[in-house]
A and B are shown apart, each in its own frame.
Chain A
Amino acid sequence: MSNALLSARDLSIRFGGVVAASNISLDVHEGENLAIIGPNGAGKTTFLNICTGWLRPALGSVSFMGRDITAHAPRDITRLGIARAFQIPQLFTEHTVLENMLLAAAAHAGRWTPFRTLESIPERAAMMDLLALVGCADIAHENALHLPEGQRKLVDIAIALALQPKLLLMDEPTAGVASSEKFGIMDMIVAALKQRGVTSVFVEHDMDMVTRYANRVAVWTTGAILREGAPKDVLADPEVIRTVIGG
């Protein structure tokens, strides 16, 4: 039994004729930044869906900190310490950016008595700090519905961070963010993660991001893991280059 933070064993699932996962086994070790790469449709997001309880695998199991979490409800898995930022950002579109954060903070802190308003919970200052971290402090009072894609992504990540997770799952974290800002913001996020001892797994298509931030890479292809290991080895592998990085 591994003492990895997150451990997936022999995950298998299919949707009709499509094999989205076939004997996926992967360990995520504490403190690392694991990048998941692979062509579209390879099953990367499906993997995240299974790990967070959104999908029940036909076979296999997932455990977190030694506990089996296979097919548990997403809300239970979230409460155990896994937070997620989505490929298509999932925001509360009837609330402002700050209110989105406050809802997450209130959920994490269990602030459910009716005696204070959402706006006045003590976590407010910390939430503004988090927004500053992802460069969104200036849009704190904007309605989340009308934000451009890049900012939605960042707010999505900030919401996940507000949950003070042990493991952060990010699905294409800076897709849609202006290229001039990508590195700056990701630098801050990764630094913050390191400071708080948060492990991260991120799905990425941008190899620059992978080389800069990942200390391990797992390559997905049609429902299976092709390679995994240190970035410089994996990214130099000819088969990986052929399958993922392309000509």
Chain B
Amino acid sequence: MPWRPVLIAAAALVALAAPFAAGWVQTFLILALAKGLAVLGILVLLQAGQVSFGHALYFAIGAYAVAFVARGLAGGELVTLLLFSAIIAGLGGLVIGLFVVRYRYIFFGMLNLAFSMVFYSILEKFFHLTGGSDGIRVPRPSVLGLTLGRDGFELTLYVVAIVCAVLFGVLVHRYLKSPLGQALRAIKSNETRLEYIGVSARRVLLVAYVVSAVLCGLGGAITALAQGLATPEYAFWIRSGEFVFIAILGGAAHVAGAFVGALAFEGIRSFAAVIFADGWQMALGLMLIAVVLFASEGIAGLWVKLTGKSAPAKAEAAP
């Protein structure tokens, strides 16, 4: 299949050329890729047929972790900040995951939603700690000891975003092909059988949940650094909904779908902001409904159909 390397090369060229195009392209790409990381987290859980409507929780945890530490250290260092936020988000995922992985489908989705909205309320209320609805400003950290100006920092962040996207894209791809990742799809198709081959579905799902929390946390951290601000809105249910929407739009079967979807989404949003302005959320909701009703395979699924590339065995759920 000659497609894959050609695509990757093309993507790499675009990625490298971008910083020279225009400043806003760079920012756009950083935010889109960070969002793509979060969507990757949703995608992982989607393999087990589970949709979380509250993963903005971890997005916000990542963002606020960076904000707190950066503010406390008057900057801090980029790589350590990112590592730290990923770990904190992962720990959060572990604690909440231990409870939430006992549940499936509706309960799973709604419990996550509930926890994220509780966190949102806490972020808003505890003004003295969290800055309330104004949020916390994130000072610019140093990078491996170097203090950079605004442009230099943004370029670095851009490179970081690309590296993370590729790195985690590959890692998650491998994870999903490994027995542990394939066991997720076994949860979706026959959890009983999974138990009867001696596997704890809860543990399999917990691993996926923590992975998803780390990915969302990293996405949130990068976003907060790019925007220089962490606000409660990072945890709001609409943001969780965006992640889910992109995951469905990008197609739940392929890792690349997360980033393609995020880029498409952010691209459309930039245009739509002009046309739709106040009706953006409604347009999103209607699009999501349309996708579910008419094309639940998403972009990646359509791509598979068009190129004839063999998709992993994907069964239609019997009504």
Binding site for B on A (CB under 8 A): 52, 73-76, 78-79, 83-84, 90-96, 99, 102-104, 106-108, 111-119, 121, 143, 145, 159, 162-163
Does B281 have its Cβ within 8 Å of any Cβ on chain A?
Answer: no
Where chain A touches its partner, the secondary structure class is mixed
Whether A117 contacts B197 in the complex (CB less than 8 A), given A93-B190, A94-B185, A95-B189, comes out as: no
B229: shortest Cβ distance to chain A, in Å? 35
A138: shortest Cβ distance to chain B, in Å? 17
**Interface pair A111/B179, CB less than 8 Å apart:** yes
Please give, as numbers and ranges, the residues of chain A lying within 8 Å of B174 by CB-CB distance.
Answer: 114-115, 117
**Interface pair A145/B175, CB less than 8 Å apart:** no
The listed residue (A78, A79, A95) touching B313 by CB distance below 8 A is A95
Q: Which residue of A lies closest to B316 (CB)?
A: A145
| 15 CB < 8 A contacts A-B | A74-B195, A78-B195, A78-B196, A84-B196, A90-B196, A92-B186, A93-B189, A94-B185, A94-B315, A111-B179, A114-B181, A118-B177, A118-B182, A159-B197, A162-B197
Q: What does the 1/0 interface line of B150-193 toward A look like (CB < 8 Å)?
A: 00000000000000000000010011011111110110111011
Complex Cα spacing A107 to B193, Å: 12
**Interface pair A92/B196, CB less than 8 Å apart:** no
Complex Cα spacing A99 to B198, Å: 16
The listed residue (A99, A103, A143) touching B315 by CB distance below 8 A is A143
Q: Which residue of A lies closest to B188 (CB)?
A: A94
Interface centre among B174, B179, B196, B315 (most CB of A within 10 A): B196
**Interface pair A163/B197, CB less than 8 Å apart:** yes
Complex Cα spacing A95 to B182, Å: 9
Does B314 have its Cβ within 8 Å of any Cβ on chain A?
Answer: yes
B135: shortest Cβ distance to chain A, in Å? 36
Complex Cα spacing A93 to B198, Å: 18
